[in-house]
Amino acid sequence: MSWWADRSIFAKIVTVLALAFVAGIGLCGADAAITASLGPPRDPFGPNTIFGRIGVIAIFLSALGLVLTAVAWVVVCLVAPFRHKD
């Protein structure tokens, strides 16, 4: 097996969610760059294009997933010593 397959499933999930978070931030940056060239009728505090809307959704969902995965990872680490192995 590869070294990647031997790792914890939590590490894989965190990696994917972190990449989604970074992609969301990049899409929000693309939104800001696109709207900067459009002119005055734009909202300075919200997403203005489809890239910005997708980016905001990606940021919120991946951040939520990162928090839930981190909590689950900690719970598993705390519970693991008490598991009975047969």
Question: Is the overall model pTM greater than 0.75, yes or no?
Answer: no
pLDDT in tens, 27-56: 877 777 777 676 666 666 666 677 777 878
Q: Where are the domains of the chain?
A: 9-82
Question: What is the token pair recorded at 55?
Answer: 């980016």
**pLDDT digit string (tens) for 54-75?**
878 888 888 888 888 888 888 8
Phi then psi dihedrals of residue 37, to 5 deg: -90, -5
Distances in whole angstroms, Cα of residue 39 to Cα of each of 26, 52, 73, 82: 21, 16, 46, 61
Three-state secondary structure string covering 12-78: HHHHHHHHHHHHHHHHHHHHHHHHHCCCCCCCCCCCCCHHHHHHHHHHHHHHHHHHHHHHHHHHHHH
